[in-house]
Chains A and B, each alone.
Chain A
Amino acid sequence: GAGVSQSPSNKVTEKGKDVELRCDPISGHTALYWYRQRLGQGLEFLIYFQGNSAPDKSGLPSDRFSAERTGESVSTLTIQRTQQEDSAVYLCASSREGARNTEAFFGQGTRLTVV
């Protein structure tokens, strides 16, 4: 596709429910990143996929958070048993080779509100 696509753009969920966020990276991009941004804050790294290597999960805040990516395509970020502190914008980005050499392209994010 022309850019990184994220869906849904907005999601309101009840506390305790599970949510699944989707990211379609730019075709041919081997690297994919997930970030969380709380209101007025910076980007908090969550997880990084690079090709077929084991993902870097060091940023996931708890075991309620998980992400998957099949090959070099779509990724899903799942948050189980959502809490109010999970409310944030979740941003996805992709790049051709990974951060060492190239820029990252971002989607418009999913705004998650837990009520």
Chain B
Amino acid sequence: SQQGEEDPQALSIQEGENATMNCSYKTSINNLQWYRQNSGRGLVHLILIRSNEREKHSGRLRVTLDTSKKSSSLLITASRAADTASYFCATIGQAGTALIFGKGTTLSVSS
């Protein structure tokens, strides 16, 4: 079964607005990661947050983690058209080995 599930499935905003995506997962994790995918090809790693961390920042990205609720959020501030992409969260699967990805959130930023 999939470990991570993103919400919403699709999000459309204007440039300059903030975008928030949520991820819920089912089992205990070691870390949670967010990735971005352009045009249905290779993914790019954005940020990794460990289970003992609650918040992490990287440029315009802010990630929070609530292990009690088994959820994480990705906030992109002051969005740009170039942020248009699909965003995935990923956690370690139940077997404790591979990264298991959710279905993703498709973000569209219009100028």
Contact = CB atoms under 8 A, between A and B. Distances in A.
Nearest to A56: B97
B103 A42 contact: yes
Given A45-B93, A48-B98, A104-B33, 15 more contacts: A37-B40, A42-B88, A42-B102, A42-B104, A43-B43, A43-B101, A45-B101, A93-B43, A99-B33, A99-B98, A103-B33, A103-B48, A104-B43, A104-B45, A109-B41
A11 to B, nearest CB: 15
B100 to A, nearest CB: 6
Contacts of A105: 45
Interface residues of A, number: 29
Interface of B: 2, 30-31, 33, 35, 40-45, 48, 88, 90, 92-93, 95, 97-104
Contacts of A106: 35, 42-44
A4 B41 CA distance: 13
Contacts of B104: 42
A43 B41 CA distance: 11
B65 to A, nearest CB: 16
A31 to B, nearest CB: 9
Given A98-B97, A103-B48, A91 B103 contact: no
A101 B33 CA distance: 10
